[in-house]
Amino acid sequence: MAQSFTQEYFQIPFVTRAYTTACVLTTAAVQLEVITPFQLYFNPDLIIRRYQIWRLITNFLFFGSLGFSFLFNIIFLYRYCRMLEEGSFRGRTADFVFMFLFGGVLMTLFGLFANLFFLGQAFTIMLVYVWSRRNPYIRMNFFGLLNFQAPFLPWVLLAFSLLLGNSIVVDLLGIGVGHVYYFLEDVFPNQPGGRKLLITPRLLRTVFDTPEEDGYAPLPEEQAAEGWQGRGGDGQEPDDQGQ
């Protein structure tokens, strides 16, 4: 059983595996009181004056104490990060890492003015937004209550946060950054006079891009999306679960 779990774990794409693992280990360390959230949160003053550079990264890794909020965020993070990496970023790990860096930098700059302490949830919403815009024909089912097209998923999550009494600033930040990336990467280059502005550095390509492995098996959601797109949008719409 342990061997089966290990094999399944290492079948997860590299970026998804690394980021999800870092988030889980960070939360576990806080839960075990090895570290505290005060050592992780985004604080520009401590970063600049006391050189606590790690805060630029750790604020993206903590989703709160173990509970519903943590499980909800980690499931969405794993699910949509993996579907992106195995779908539109398949064989383009360097481009995926560059999207992480682009999104992280924009969110950090916004965090300087918005007094946000943890940006992991916004980052998850960004991943969800990009995936949803690239898979517009997939139908979603949110906890068995709502049925809608994939592009509405980020807004459903925002409404869900509002119903729970949470601030929607983080959700709006994720949607905003996700839209900036989507526009610059997928929309603007295809416009008359447009061109590709987001160029992945050669160093990232050298480090991360490797020949695609044989025996690759995408998630069922990605197989459904590819089949739908291959039919040009004709036929029955595939279903997806929004959790």
Please name the amino acid found at residue 30. Answer: V
Mean per-residue pLDDT, 177-197: 92
Q: How high is the pLDDT of residue 215?
A: 45
Q: What is the mean pLDDT of residues 154-162?
A: 90
**pLDDT tier at 241 (50, 70, 90 boundaries)?**
very low
Confidence of residue 218 (pLDDT cuts 50, 70, 90): low
Q: What is the CA radius of gyration of the chain?
A: 18
Mean pLDDT of 213-221: 49
pLDDT of 47-73, one tens digit each?
Answer: 999 999 999 999 999 988 888 888 988
DSSP code for 152: G
Average of per-residue pLDDT across 76-93:
93
How does residue 214 score in pLDDT terms, banded at 50, 70 and 90? very low
- Find the range with the poorest average confidence among 37-41, 90-94, 98-102, 233-237: 233-237
With cut-offs at 50, 70 and 90, classify the pLDDT of residue 111. confident
Question: What pLDDT was estimated at residue 228?
Answer: 45
pLDDT at 119 over 90: yes
Report percent pLDDT > 90 for the chain. 62
Q: Is the pLDDT of residue 6 over 50?
A: yes
Q: Is 47:53 a contact under the CB 8 Å cutoff? A: yes
| Per-residue exposure over 6-16, b if at least 16 CB sit within 10 Å of its own CB, e if not | eeeeeebbebb
Of the given ranges (11-20, 33-42, 86-95, 219-228), which has the lowest mean pLDDT?
219-228
Tokens 């940006």, residue?
A: 119
Rounded to an integer, the average pLDDT of 23-40 is 93
pLDDT for res 231: 44
User: Mean pLDDT of all residues in the chain?
Assistant: 85
CA atoms within 13 A on the CB side of 4: 1
pLDDT for res 236: 41
Please, are residues 74 and 24 in contact by the beta-carbon 8 Å criterion? Answer: yes
Which position has the token pair 């119903």? 163
